[in-house]
Each structure stands twice: as structure tokens, then as C-alpha cells.
A and B are shown apart, each in its own frame.
Chain A
Amino acid sequence: MHPRGTLRRRVALVVAALAALLGGCSRPGPAPGASAAVGALPKVRFKTDWYPQAEHGGFYQAVARGFYRESGIDVDIVPGGPGVPVSQIVLSGQVDLAMGRSDDMIAWVSKGLPFVVVGVYMERDPQAILVHEESPVRTFADLNNRTVMGVAGSNWIDYIKLHYHIDFRLIPSNFGIAQFMADKDFIQQCFVTNEPYFVRKNGGHPRTLLMSDSGFNPYRVIYTTQRYLREHPAEVRAFVAASLRGWDDFMNGDPSPAKALISKANENMPGEFMDYSIKALRDYHIVAGRADLGERPGLMTRRRMQEQVDDLLQLKLIPELLPVDKFVRFDFMPPDLQSGAH
């Protein structure tokens, strides 16, 4: 019966634990240092947070152009989707690494979850607030007493409310733009690389407020479990290095190999849309960051991580101060970035 089918999604969040438990009852991942067979590269499974899209481009580029193989690993990209509990899946051992956000990492490690950040692939978060061109909302403070559609439980919600001393009503995100198109006053969370394209395609005039401009400025990170890091440091190092190489090639070289791979994996991905996303990544300095602020692709700094910890502490989202070294390993970045880590 259909309600149970829908309910399975919600229950999946709970039962994912049990299912993952049963599925992952055997030791997670391959034995330390072992290869599947003589001559075969060690397999590394990497989970993304959505269907294949340009926002994952660097990873697909690295696969398509063989960068991972050159670094000595065979990478499987496992796409996520709406409602997919990525972090729980990492914890269960079904995948080895995944993409996430640094603010989530801080919150989870504060709870005692054994995650660790090993690299960043985007200097800035592409999250934004989407409004219509004519909307009176021009700054984050203007969100006061309004209704916003967003992903419930996200840290930015509490951050914005506290930082600007405002309050607003939150309705659950359905990851679409139907309501936005129907209502000129509608406000919702979006990716600056994504929703505006579709709004324009449907004849709308969107305007965005980039989240990182509000002071809430997380990294988009690559993370894994402490156990996997302990048992497969070589694979982790190789993965981070080759991924950053892939991102560099994707943003500055010819992105077609990645685009081809993404199209194959996701039939609903028009080339024109991917081009739009890539341009947005560039225009908003998402991947490379702002050079004038000392940001560089793949660079994570202690200072910025500390700022985020302080923010979350102030928001009371973490109970006490979390030392940066408890959730970040700076020594897995490529050597040329490590000096800039302070």
C-alpha cells in the first residue's frame, strides 16, 4: 500500500542502521594492506550526496581520466540521493569515504562519532537562499518572520537565526521548485549551481544569497572513519591527491570526460545544465575560493576550522569546545598545501 512505501523512506533512516548492521556485520572494507587479487588495485568506495551531477565533477573527472588508477587505487563512486543517510552508510562500512560538510563533521564528532576529515574539495559551500528577483528579501536579516523551505535540522538554520537575531518558519524541503515557481514570495534553500538554472528555464527570474556570505562558511569535505584511516592510510592519501587533481582538471581543463561519465550515470543530466553548474562553480569561487582571502583549491586551514567550531559552540549545537585535531587530519592534504594549513 502506497503509504507504507513512502513510510519505508522514513523508516529506512532508522532501519538503515539495522540493515547496515546486518549487511556490514563482516569486517568493513578489505583487510589492511591487502589487494583483492595479485595485480589488481585496491578498491576504494566513495559515496556522494546526490545523484551524479556537476557538483561532483572533479571526482568523476579523476575516474574518467585515470587519475585514481595512476595513484594506485580503483575508485567506485556510489551516488546518493534524497533521504539517503550517507554518514550512517559510511559508519556501517558499506563505503570507505564520502563527501560532506565541515559543520556536520564538527557536530557529529562532538557526539563521539568516529569520523575524520581528510581533505576539502570545495572552499565554499554552494548553498544559497533562492528568491524571486522582485522579492523584498535582499539580505539574510530580511528573512525575519518569513517562511523558508529548507532541509530541517541543517546547521545553517540555527546559525542564521542566531547571527541575525531573527526567526523564520521552516517547511520541509522537497528538493523541487514547483512551489517556488507558483509563488512570487516563496523563499527556499538551494544550490547556487542548480536551482537557478531550472527557474530561468521555466521563465522565472531568480536571485540568490550565497550562504558563505552570511558568515556561515563551511568547507565541503572528504571524510572517512578513523578505523579506515588507520587501516588504509595509503588509499586515503591517494584518494585525496587524485581527487584534487581531478577537480583541478575539471575546473581548468576540459571537463568532457567527467560530463560523459555523469551523463552515463544520470540520464536526466543535460549537458547545458552541467555547463551552467560549472560556470556557477567558477563565478562564485566555490571550488577554488577567493585567492584574495588566501583560499586555494583543496586547502583547509586550522584557523577556519576553529572559527567553525566556535560558531557551533555559540549556537549550542555542540556541548563543549572540540579541538580541531579531533576531527581533521591536515597531513593527508597534498604536500604543497600543508604549509598553508595554519
Chain B
Amino acid sequence: MSAPATRARLPRIVRRLLPLATGVAVILVWYAVCLGMSSEQRFLLPAPHEVARALVDKGPALWGAALNTGEGALLGFAAAVALSFVMALLLSLSPLVRASLYPYLMILQMTPIIVMAPILILWVGPGLKSVTIITFLICFFPMVVNTTQGLISTDRNLVDFFRMCRASKRQEIFLLRVPAALPYFFTGLRIAGTLAPIGAIVGDFYAGNSAGGQGGLGFLTIIYSSQFQMAALFATAAVSCLLGFVFVAGVIALSWLSLHKWHDSFSQADL
């Protein structure tokens, strides 16, 4: 048989299993590290099965906390999406508007959350409202920047074409600039989607509370840490990670729905 034929691509099954194999390798290394530690240090790094057990034992608490954090993240994220779009439309109107508003947006972006959170809680009180606002603040700026960039980067030729068709300003914005800006919008959305769960957990750290199971993942972190429940802490980290994945997956799905038919970011080969 000819040699080139046997050097074909790895069979599909191998490619599918590769990430799984890596995962198994990671877990084996984890166990190896645990075994190599002193009896004191063993308490600092729980073994994989201990984390798994904590996930089961603390399941209800983790699930409830994840829902709470998820709720805050979703609300803050949705608010950021909506308001950033309005702000981007405003900013896209003229360089003068951009020059006057951008500095204030920058100030908002640069002020660290650690400083803003306590002030916020003072005004708004703890709970879902504060968590939502903190998440909003974290997501807002990247979305504004990206969407604005998209709205002002419309192809000059297309703008000329619209002008030739005597399109009104409103038509130009909603039939040309906004659809053209969608890829940029989704870039911003992807960034915000990663930040939203983080923002909600940080917010929860400052503004969470235990009333009626309203605590989120940040709140649980404080409890498990102060009670030296390391396996539960790792389990909380795992759940937080999962929440992040869910958000990003959601955003990618939205982005696929809107763009896959016509945008190059979804190549024909994947259809």
C-alpha cells in the first residue's frame, strides 16, 4: 500500500478522546501531588474525589448559590447590553459627542470595584440590586467600546451607496450601521459574558446576604474559607467555573444564530 495513505489524519475517535485523555492525565498528576505532600499540607489541597464528594454533599447549597449568582450576573449583563447599545448609538453620532462623553466613561472604567462596592452598598443596600449593579459596571465599558467601534467603522462604500439612495439618517443607522456593527457587538458581548459571572461573584462577596438563601457563590466562598472547608472551597471554584462556561456558551450560541449565515467568523466549512 502507498505510504502517504497511512499518514492520513488521526481517526476521528482519537481526536475526540484527546481532550478526555488530557483531563485524565491532569487528575492523575493531581493525585500524585497530593500523595507527595506532608500530612499538614494535605489539608490544603483536597484530592479530586474529595472535591467530588463536596460537590455532592454541598450540592443543594452550591446549586442555590449558583442560581443566585447567575441571576445577578444575567440581570447585570442584560442591563449592560441594553444600555451600552444606547450609549454606543449616542457616541456614534459625532466625534464631538465622543470627545465629550468618553472621559467620563473612562473614569467609570478605571475606578476599581473594590472602592466602588462599599459605596454602592451604602446607597443601594446589599442583595440582588447591588450585585446586579456591580456586574453591570464591569460589563458596561467593554461593550460600549466595541459596539461604538462597530458603528463608526462602517464601510465607506456602503455609506456612499446609502447616500446615493437618498436614505434618511434613521435608515442609515438601523439598516446599515447597526447590522454592520453586529460582529463588533458580539465581540463585546463575548468579553462581557466572561466578565459577568466574575462580576457577580465579586459583587456577592461584598453585597451578598444570607436572607432566604440569597447568598451566592462569593458568599459561600467566605463561609467555606473561614470554616476551613477546603474541598467545599474547591467545589465552589468548580461551580463558578461552570457558571462562566454557561455564560460564554450562551453568548456564542447567540452569536452563531445572528452571524453564521453571513459572517466570515463562521466559516463555510463548519456549516
Check whether chain A touches chain B (CB < 8 angstroms): yes
Interface string of A1-44 (1 = CB under 8 A from B): 01111110011011011101100100010000000000000000
A171 within 8 A of B: yes
Q: How far is the CB of B205 from chain A (nearest CB, A)?
A: 6
By secondary structure, the A interface counts as helix
Query: How many pairs of residues, A versus B, come closer than 8 Å at their CB atoms?
Result: 125
Chain A residues with Cβ below 8 Å from B138 are 3
Chain A residues with Cβ below 8 Å from B38 are 28, 93, 227
Query: Contact between B112 and A10 (Cβ–Cβ < 8 Å)?
Result: no
Find residues 148-206 in chain A having any chain B CB closer than 8 Å to their own CB: 151-154, 169-172, 174, 176, 178-179, 182
Give Cα A172 to B38, complex, Å.
34
A73 within 8 A of B: no
Query: Contact between A108 and B228 (Cβ–Cβ < 8 Å)?
Result: yes
Query: Contact between B222 and A151 (Cβ–Cβ < 8 Å)?
Result: yes
A14-B233, A108-B228 known; A176-B118 Cβ under 8 A? yes
Query: Contact between B225 and A107 (Cβ–Cβ < 8 Å)?
Result: no
Closest B residue, CB atoms, query A317: B227
Query: Contact between B44 and A171 (Cβ–Cβ < 8 Å)?
Result: no
Give Cα A227 to B45, complex, Å.
18
B94 within 8 A of A: no
Query: Contact between B41 and A13 (Cβ–Cβ < 8 Å)?
Result: no
A10-B221, A169-B211, A170-B209 known; A153-B226 Cβ under 8 A? yes
A212 within 8 A of B: no
A28-B38, A152-B226 known; A172-B207 Cβ under 8 A? yes
By secondary structure, the B interface counts as helix
Query: Contact between B45 and A169 (Cβ–Cβ < 8 Å)?
Result: no
Query: Contact between A172 and B226 (Cβ–Cβ < 8 Å)?
Result: no
A3-B138, A179-B122 known; A113-B43 Cβ under 8 A? yes
Closest A residue, CB atoms, query B210: A170
Query: Contact between A178 and B114 (Cβ–Cβ < 8 Å)?
Result: no
Query: Contact between A172 and B219 (Cβ–Cβ < 8 Å)?
Result: yes
A225 within 8 A of B: yes
B47 within 8 A of A: no
A10-B201, A91-B43, A111-B228 known; A5-B221 Cβ under 8 A? no
Closest A residue, CB atoms, query B39: A114
Query: Contact between A7 and B201 (Cβ–Cβ < 8 Å)?
Result: yes
Query: Contact between B121 and A179 (Cβ–Cβ < 8 Å)?
Result: yes
Of B121, B199, B218, B222, the most chain A CB neighbours within 10 A belong to B222
A85 within 8 A of B: yes
B40 partner, pick from A3, A107, A154, A227, beta carbons under 8 A: A227
A92 within 8 A of B: yes
Query: Contact between A28 and B209 (Cβ–Cβ < 8 Å)?
Result: no
Find residues 101-152 in chain A having any chain B CB closer than 8 Å to their own CB: 104, 107-108, 111-114, 147, 151-152
Closest A residue, CB atoms, query B222: A152
A21-B45, A170-B209 known; A3-B221 Cβ under 8 A? no
Interface string of A282-315 (1 = CB under 8 A from B): 0000000000000000000000000000000000
Q: How far is the CB of B138 from chain A (nearest CB, A)?
A: 5
Interface footprint category on A: 35 or more
Chain A residues with Cβ below 8 Å from B219 are 152, 172
Chain B residues with Cβ below 8 Å from A176 are 118
Chain A residues with Cβ below 8 Å from B118 are 174, 176, 178
Q: How far is the CB of A254 from chain B (nearest CB, A)?
A: 36
Closest B residue, CB atoms, query A13: B225
B189 within 8 A of A: no
Chain B residues with Cβ below 8 Å from A179 are 121-122
B41 partner, pick from A4, A91, A151, A153, beta carbons under 8 A: A91
Query: Contact between A17 and B121 (Cβ–Cβ < 8 Å)?
Result: no
Give Cα A111 to B138, complex, Å.
38
Chain B residues with Cβ below 8 Å from A174 are 118, 121, 206
Query: Contact between A93 and B233 (Cβ–Cβ < 8 Å)?
Result: no
Query: Contact between A28 and B40 (Cβ–Cβ < 8 Å)?
Result: yes
Q: How far is the CB of A290 from chain B (nearest CB, A)?
A: 29
A5 partner, pick from B37, B114, B195, B215, beta carbons under 8 A: B114
Closest A residue, CB atoms, query B34: A21
Query: Contact between B43 and A7 (Cβ–Cβ < 8 Å)?
Result: no
Give Cα A6 to B121, complex, Å.
16
Give Cα A169 to B127, complex, Å.
11
Query: Contact between A6 and B226 (Cβ–Cβ < 8 Å)?
Result: no
Of B43, B114, B121, B205, the most chain A CB neighbours within 10 A belong to B43
Query: Contact between A21 and B39 (Cβ–Cβ < 8 Å)?
Result: no
Q: How far is the CB of B41 from chain A (nearest CB, A)?
A: 6
Query: Contact between A114 and B223 (Cβ–Cβ < 8 Å)?
Result: no
Chain B residues with Cβ below 8 Å from A21 are 33, 37, 41, 44-45
Q: List 23 A-B contacts (CB under 8 A).
A: A3-B195, A3-B198, A4-B198, A6-B114, A7-B198, A7-B202, A10-B202, A13-B233, A17-B45, A24-B41, A28-B38, A85-B225, A91-B43, A152-B223, A153-B223, A170-B210, A171-B207, A172-B206, A172-B208, A178-B118, A178-B122, A225-B40, A227-B38
Identify the A interface with B (CB < 8 A).
2-7, 10-11, 13-14, 16-18, 20-21, 24, 28, 85, 87-88, 91-93, 104, 107-108, 111-114, 147, 151-154, 169-172, 174, 176, 178-179, 182, 225, 227
Identify the B interface with A (CB < 8 A).
33, 37-41, 43-45, 110-114, 118, 121-122, 126, 138, 195, 198-199, 201-202, 205-211, 215, 218-219, 221-230, 233-234, 237
